[in-house]
Amino acid sequence: DNKRIGVLRSTMSYFDACTVLVGKLEPCTIDARIEIKTNKELYHGAMLTQNSFLVHHTIINQMHVHFYFREYLPVVELAVEYKKSAGAKRALDPICIFYEGISSLCLARDVKQSKWRDLGEKSIKAMAHFVQLSTWNFENKLALLQAELHCLDSHYDLAELAYEASILSARKHKFIQEEALACELYGIHFIENRQFEKGISQLQKAINKYVQLGALKKADDVKDFVEVIKQPAHFLS
Q: What is the CA 118 to chain-centroid distance, rounded?
A: 19
CA distances from 39 to 61, 76, 188 (A): 7, 17, 29
Over residues 12-50, the pLDDT tens digits come to: 899 889 999 998 655 544 555 567 788 889 989 888 888
Dist CA 113 CA 101 (whole Å): 14
Angle at 94 between CA 10 and CA 54, to 5 degrees: 20
Q: How far is CA 9 from the centre of its chain?
A: 22
Backbone angles phi, psi at 33, to 5 degrees: -85, -10
CA atoms of 187 and 227, how far apart (whole Å): 14
Q: Residue 210: CB partners within 8 Å, gap ≥ 6? A: 177, 180, 216, 218, 219, 222
Higher per-residue confidence, 139 vs 112:
139
What are the two backbone dihedrals, phi and then psi, of residue 87, each rounded to the nearest 5 degrees?
Answer: 125, -160
Distances (CA, A) of 109 to 65, 140, 150, 189: 21, 21, 11, 11
pLDDT band at 59 (very low <50, low <70, confident <90, very high): very high
Select the more confidently predicted residue: 92 or 66. Answer: 66
Q: How far apart are CA 24 and CA 21, in angstroms?
A: 8
Please name which of 102, 115, 187 lies closest in space to residue 148, comparing C-alpha atoms.
102
**Burial class, 204, CB count within 10 angstroms (exposed 0-12 / middle 13-18 / buried 19+):** middle
Q: What amino acid occupies position 132?
A: Q
At 1 the pLDDT is 42
Quote the pLDDT of residue 34: 64
Counting residues of the chain whose pLDDT is more than 70, the rounded percentage is 89
In 50-131, beta strands by DSSP E: none
Count of other CB atoms within 10 angstroms of residue 16: 21
At 60, give phi and psi (nearest 5°). Answer: -60, -40
pTM of the predicted protein model: 0.91
Between CA 74 and CA 97 the distance in angstroms is: 14
pLDDT at residue 3 is higher than 60: no
